[in-house]
Structure 1
Amino acid sequence: MQLVVNKRNLIWSYLLVLTPVCMGIFGCKQGVEEATKIEVELYTTSDLDYPEDPIKITNGVTENYLQNFFLPWNLSPEQVVDSLDSFPGKNLSYLQNYLEDDEWYGENKKPHKRVLREEIVENVELGTFPNFQKKGIVIAHTNLRRIPSNRPGFDTYSKAGEGFPFDYFQETNLWANTPLQLLHLTNDKQWCYAVSPYYKGWVALHDLAIVTDDFISAWKTGHYAMPKSDAVNLSDPSSNYAINAKMGMVLPYENSTKGEQILAFYTNADENQNAVILKAAIDKDKVALADFRFEKDKLKILVSNLIGRPYGWGGNLENRDCSSMIRDLMATYQVWLPRDSKDQIDIGQQFELTGSLEEKMQLIKAKAIPFQTILRKKGHNMLYVGENERGEPLIFHAIWGLKTTYSNKKLATYLVDYPLEGIHHDEDGALKGRHILGESVITSVLAGSGNEGVTRPLLDEIYTMTNILENLKP
Structure 2
Amino acid sequence: MKIYHAVRNRNLLFLTITLILTSCQTVPSGKEAQDAAYPGRAAALYIDPTKTIFPLDNYPQIVDKWLPAGPDSNTPLMDEATQQKYFAALKTRYFGLGRDENSPWNATYIASVLKKGPETVRDASVSQLLSDKKVLWGQNFRPHSTRWKSEVRGNADTEISHDYHPAHRAIAIRESLVRVLPTDDPAFDDYRLAGQGYPFDNLQMSSIRPGVPVYILTTSRDERWKYVRTPTVTGWVHSEDVASVSQGFVTDWVGMANRNLGAIIRDSVSVADGGRFFFTARPGTILPFRKLRHGIFQVAVPAQGRGEGAERHWVTLDDQAFVPMPWQMVPGHLATLLRTMGDRPYGWGNDYFHNDCSAELRSLLMPFGIFLPRNSAAQIQSAARVVDLSKEDVDARLAYLRDHGKPFRTLIYIPGHIMLYIGNTVMNGQNVPMTYQDLWGLRPKNGKSRSIVGGSVFFPLLAAYPEDPDLVSLAGKTQFKLGFIE
Q: Same fold (TM over 0.5)?
A: yes
Q: Cα gap change, 1:452/1:286 in structure 2, threshold over 3 Å: closer, same or farther?
A: closer
Tell me if 1:403 matches 2:443: yes
Q: Distance in 2 between matches of 1:210 and 1:204?
A: 13
2:87 to 62, 87, 111: 62
Q: Is the 8 A contact 1:395 1:442 kept in 2?
A: yes
Q: Cα gap change, 1:391/1:453 in structure 2, threshold over 3 Å: closer, same or farther?
A: closer
Number of aligned pairs? Answer: 420
CA offset digits 1:303-333 (Å, max 9, x no partner): 2121101110111101000001011111111
Identity of aligned residues (%): 23
Alignment match, 2:130: 99
**Any stretches of 5+ residues in structure 2 without a counterpart?**
1-28, 45-54, 96-102
Tell me which protein shows more helix as a share of its residues.
Answer: 2
Tell me if 1:186 matches 2:192: no
1:195 to 210, 220, 229: 229
The 5 A counterparts of 1:300-379 are 300-346=335-381, 347-353=383-389, 354-379=391-416
CA offset digits 1:356-396 (Å, max 9, x no partner): 33211111112210000011211111100001123100000
The 5 A counterparts of 1:5-404 are 16-17=32-33, 33=39, 36-38=42-44, 39-40=55-56, 41-43=58-60, 44-48=62-66, 53-54=75-76, 55-58=78-81, 59-70=84-95, 71-76=103-108, 77-84=110-117, 90-100=121-131, 101-127=133-159, 129=161, 134-220=168-254, 221=256, 222=258, 223-237=260-274, 240-256=276-292, 258-290=293-325, 292-346=327-381, 347-353=383-389, 354-389=391-426, 390-404=430-444
CA offset digits 1:83-110 (Å, max 9, x no partner): 455x9x9433422333314311111122
User: How many angstroms does 1:462 deviate by?
Assistant: 7.1
User: How many angstroms does 1:218 deviate by?
Assistant: 1.6
Q: Distance in 2 between matches of 1:205 and 1:288?
A: 30
Q: Is the 8 A contact 2:409 2:420 kept in 1?
A: yes
User: How many angstroms does 1:272 deviate by?
Assistant: 4.3
Q: Is the 8 A contact 2:173 2:241 kept in 1?
A: yes
2:465 to 449, 455, 470: 449
Q: Distance in 2 between matches of 1:272 and 1:98?
A: 37
Q: Is the 8 A contact 1:57 1:333 kept in 2?
A: no
Code of the residue aligned with 2:75 in structure 1: it is: D
- The structure showing larger relative contact order (alpha-carbon pairs under 8 Å, at least 6 residues apart) is 1
User: How many angstroms does 1:281 deviate by?
Assistant: 0.6
CA offset digits 1:402-441 (Å, max 9, x no partner): 1136xxxxxxxxxxxxxxxxxxxxxxxx571111111100
User: How many angstroms does 1:251 deviate by?
Assistant: 1.1
Q: Is the 8 A contact 1:241 1:268 kept in 2?
A: no
Alignment match, 2:21: none
Q: Distance in 1 between matches of 2:328 and 2:276?
A: 35
**Any stretches of 5+ residues in structure 1 without a counterpart?**
1-12, 22-31, 406-429
Q: Distance in 1 between matches of 2:268 and 2:159?
A: 44
Q: Distance in 2 between matches of 1:127 and 1:285?
A: 45
Alignment match, 1:421: none
Q: Cα gap change, 1:61/1:356 in structure 2, threshold over 3 Å: closer, same or farther?
A: same
User: How many angstroms does 1:136 deviate by?
Assistant: 0.7
User: How many angstroms does 1:448 deviate by?
Assistant: 5.4
Q: Is the 8 A contact 2:349 2:355 kept in 1?
A: yes
Q: Is the 8 A contact 1:350 1:464 kept in 2?
A: no
CA offset digits 1:271-324 (Å, max 9, x no partner): 544111121111134323146321121111112121101110111101000001
Q: Cα gap change, 1:290/1:139 in structure 2, threshold over 3 Å: closer, same or farther?
A: closer
Q: Cα gap change, 1:121/1:261 in structure 2, threshold over 3 Å: closer, same or farther?
A: same
Q: Cα gap change, 1:329/1:458 in structure 2, threshold over 3 Å: closer, same or farther?
A: same
SS in 1 for 2:413: strand
Tell me if 1:438 matches 2:454: yes
Alignment match, 2:12: none
Q: Cα gap change, 1:435/1:344 in structure 2, threshold over 3 Å: closer, same or farther?
A: same
Code of the residue aligned with 2:456 in structure 1: it is: S
Q: Is the 8 A contact 1:15 1:35 kept in 2?
A: no
CA offset digits 1:418-469 (Å, max 9, x no partner): xxxxxxxxxxxx5711111111000110185124533232222273333442
Q: Distance in 1 between matches of 2:74 and 2:398?
A: 22
Q: Is the 8 A contact 1:235 1:279 kept in 2?
A: no
Q: Distance in 1 between matches of 2:64 and 2:30?
A: 29
Code of the residue aligned with 2:384 in structure 1: it is: G
Q: Distance in 2 between matches of 1:215 and 1:299?
A: 33
Q: Is the 8 A contact 2:440 2:455 kept in 1?
A: yes
SS in 2 for 1:404: coil
Q: Could you tell me the TM-score, scaled by structure 1's length?
A: 0.82
CA RMSD of aligned residues (A): 2.6
